[in-house]
Every structure is written in structure tokens, then in C-alpha cells.
Amino acid sequence: MKTIGLIGGMSWESTQVYYRILNEKMKEKLGGSHSCECILYSVDFAEVERLQHEGNWDALARQLTDIAIKLQAAGAELILIGTNTMHKNFDTIQKQVDAPLLHIADTAADAIVEQRMKRVGLIGTRFTMEQDFYADRLRDHGIEVVIPDVKARMAIHEVIFFELTKGIISDVSRRKLQNIVDNLEKKGAEGVVLGCTELPMLLDQQHSRLPLFDTTRLHAEAAVNAALRKHP
């Protein structure tokens, strides 16, 4: 079993879900009392959130690179960035460490391709929806991406930062996001990527006619599979 390094705290609400899935999946794979060998570095999300909204991605890249280096030095053989948005800095971080990083959008793409879908909706922070770093990664797998309109993008962004990262679960917000997902279906989406690790706290498959791709679970489960693989 390889040791997994997890860069978490973005937010800790979803990081605890990562930890649970990593251990549940490892037990499922190996049985008995097995659990996941992992090292967690959890950041102060207030600082990350501030830098994101200031657009200071270079400072964030330096911060996460330093963390990845520390995780590798501590023994991590595989590294996860436990947030969709910060995969904006994925390539910069990977260049500075030998331990492979597992890209969260690649794990989503694998699940989408497995279901033979060609066009999906993407919801997440405004950074994830409006910038190219995430959608381009999906397009590299031959997947077309559609996003909500401006008003809907702002609504999702506010639900994430004002509610979900603080552990607030609102039925009103759930219905709002359900309507946004329904509108993505009207745009031709065959499924929807929950491109924020907090979104599965609010939406799961019972809330949507369309297949939902839970990136938190997909990322964590792919990490367990990679950790058990004898050869990368």
C-alpha cells in the first residue's frame, strides 16, 4: 500500500469526507481491520479563500507546493489536492515533487467516459466554472462542457462559500441547485459534474434526474486504487 498525502482544509467540511471514503474504500478492498495509510496537511481556509478572491493564484501555488514538498518528505507516495478549484495550480505543484498528483478532473472524466457520455454540465465555484483549467482537462478526454448562466454561477458560488464551507445545509439552496441542474439538462447535458468537493454535501443522486458525478468520492476512490497498484 502506498502512503497517500492529502492537502486538505479547503474546506475541512469536505476533507473529513475524503478521510472517511479513503478508509472505507481501503477496508472494502482489503477487508478485515485494514485502513488507509495517509498523511493529512490541513490549511487555514480563510487565507486560501482570501487569496482566491484576490486572484493571487501565484501565492496559492507557492503555498500548496510547499505543502506537497512537506508531505513527500513525510513519506507520501501519492498526493491529492482535496479541492477542485486549486487544481488550477496542479501543473505548477507537480513539477516540484516526484510523488505523482492525481488530478480530480481526470477521475471525473474516467467516470464520464465509462458511461459513454459526450456532454456534461459543470457546477462549482465561479473560478472552476468560468476559467479554463478544469473544463479543458475534461475536453482533453473528449468531453464537451456546459456551464450555468451568470446569475446561476453566482448563486452556486455563494452557496459554496457562505454555506457549505461553514457546514450549513439548506433545503432552499438545494432546490435552487436542483433547478440549475435541470436547466443544464435543457442545454443538452447528459450528466453533471459536482465540481466542488462540498457540493455532494447538498446534492446527491436522489436530487437529480441526470447522473451526478461526485468528484470527492471519485477522487478518493481513485486514490485508493492507485495506492494499491503495484506499478503506477
In sequence order, the 6+-apart residues with CB closer than 8 A to the CB of 27 are: 33, 34, 35
- Measure the CA–CA gap between 137 and 190, rounded to whole angstroms: 18
83 is catalytic: yes
Long-range residue pairs from 168-175, CB within 8 A, at least 24 positions apart, any chain: 169/201, 169/202, 170/202, 173/202, 174/202, 174/203, 174/207
User: How far, in Å, CA of 62 to CA of 89, rounded?
Assistant: 9
Look up 36 and say whether it is catalytic: no
Active-site entry in 83, 125, 165, 216: 83
Contact (Cβ atoms closer than 8 angstroms) between residue 199 and residue 104: no
- Contact between residue 106 and residue 100 where contact means Cβ atoms under 8 Å apart: no
Letter string b/e over residues 40-69, b meaning 16 or more CB atoms within 10 A of that residue's CB: bbbbebeebbebbeeeebeebbebbbebbb
Query: In this structure, what C-alpha cell is assigned to residue 52?
Result: 482566491
Q: Which of 15, 165, 196, 197 is catalytic?
A: 196
Q: Sort strands 212-214 and 191-195 into parallel, antiparallel or unpaired.
A: parallel
Residue 173 — φ and ψ, nearest 5°?
-65, -35
Catalytic sites, residue numbers: 83, 196
